Amino acid sequence: MEVLALNAFRSVYRGRRVLVTGHTGFKGSWLSLWLHTLGAEVAGLALDPSTEPSHWDLLKLPIKDHRVDIRDELAVRRVLAEERPEIVFHLAAQPLVRRSYREPVTTWGTNVMGTVHVLEAVRHTPDVRAVVVVTSDKCYENRERPWAYREQDRLGGHDPYSASKAATELVSASYRAALLQQTSTPLLATARGGNVIGGGDWSEDRLIPDLVRSLVAAEPLVIRSPHATRPWQHVLDLLSGYLLLGQRLLAGDDTCADPWNFGPEGDGNRTVEQVLGTLSRTWPQLRWEVTSTPQPHEAALLQLDSAKAKVHLGWRPVWDFEKAVHHTGVWYRRLMETGDVPSADQLSAYVADAADSQQVWATT
């Protein structure tokens, strides 16, 4: 299994210097684990973990760990100058919709100017050949229409988080078109994903972490919008898209310097209530109830069209909705019942399933 994992993505990450911003977060910690497994020389740039416990702390990965606020331009530049990465995965962000209502200035400063600082540092670091900037499915102007959003659809956003992610896309497009045009400058792409689930997330105001906390507290979870529909996907499916995109950028494929959707198949577009019902089959002790208290606006319907990634990158999700929810529930149950951190085991299982299904990045 270790040989299979090392050979994934045509071994492009083996021995490669990689910087992950936001490595102490949920997606960033999983990405750091995967890159470490691939044999990359990983460095991280982030704030301290925002939750206790945190997936990052549980993993105990032996990578360089820079605790830096991306709103500090000089500090960001110092890290890139020291690490000289060949590729940057930029995940650092204020990632929560409801927090963005409470902290709009922090949200805009982190998500927009933080991205500017990272891209400015990239411009002054000659070793960088590729950049993947992670935004969100919420970067689209969501009119809650019954069809999926494509990369050329209009950007926008109601709440500060969504609007800041749309602005991050504009910042990236501006750098790509105006400031990263010389032959020696890196290729830049952006990646938009759906509602990500998986073990190790303890963020506030997220469905499954809130559900796990309610179980610990022996109280039912109070849910806000049981009929809200989202494109649910396992974190490893999304990260496989980031890594495949990075592979193509490192190979000098300038046709990939573009925005990309990485969403689930159609069966992943489910309501909150359906997610909870599916999870309860893995974890029967879970309980929830619906609140009648008015809540800040959140979109009721959002879907992604990933046809571009499927056609041009050969990317496909590996775990369908049922498997994604199942593996998520198993992760939390193992940690709570035995103290085990099953992340490496689940990554191995995921790579094996990807190879069995002939995923383009998993076959050598």
Q: Kindly write down the DSSP assignment for every residue of 106-127, as one continuous string.
A: HHHIIIIIHHHHHHHHHHT-TT
- What confidence score (pLDDT) does residue 173 get? 97
Spatial contact of 359 and 8, defined as CB atoms under 8 Å apart? no
Spatial contact of 63 and 110, defined as CB atoms under 8 Å apart? no
Single pTM value for the model: 0.93
Judged against a pLDDT cut of 80, whether residue 198 lies above it is answered with: yes
Spatial contact of 188 and 253, defined as CB atoms under 8 Å apart? no
- What confidence score (pLDDT) does residue 300 get? 53
Query: What proportion of the chain, given as a percentage, has pLDDT over 90?
Result: 68
Judged against a pLDDT cut of 60, whether residue 77 lies above it is answered with: yes
Q: Where are the beta strands (DSSP E) in 68-202?
A: 87-90, 130-134, 187-193, 195-197
- What confidence score (pLDDT) does residue 1 get? 45
What mean pLDDT comes out for the span 76-91?
Answer: 98
What mean pLDDT comes out for the span 178-196?
Answer: 92
Query: Sheet of 269-271: strands edge to edge?
Result: 195-197, 229-234, 269-271
Q: How many Å from the N-terminal Cα to the C-terminal Cα in the chain? A: 13
Closest CA to 162 of 88, 99, 114: 99
Query: What proportion of the chain, given as a percentage, has pLDDT over 70?
Result: 95
Mean pLDDT of the chain: 91
User: For the chain, which domains are there?
Assistant: 2-195+235-265+305-320+343-356 (3.40.50.720)
Centre a 10 Å sphere on the Cβ of residue 282 and count the other Cβ atoms it contains. Answer: 16
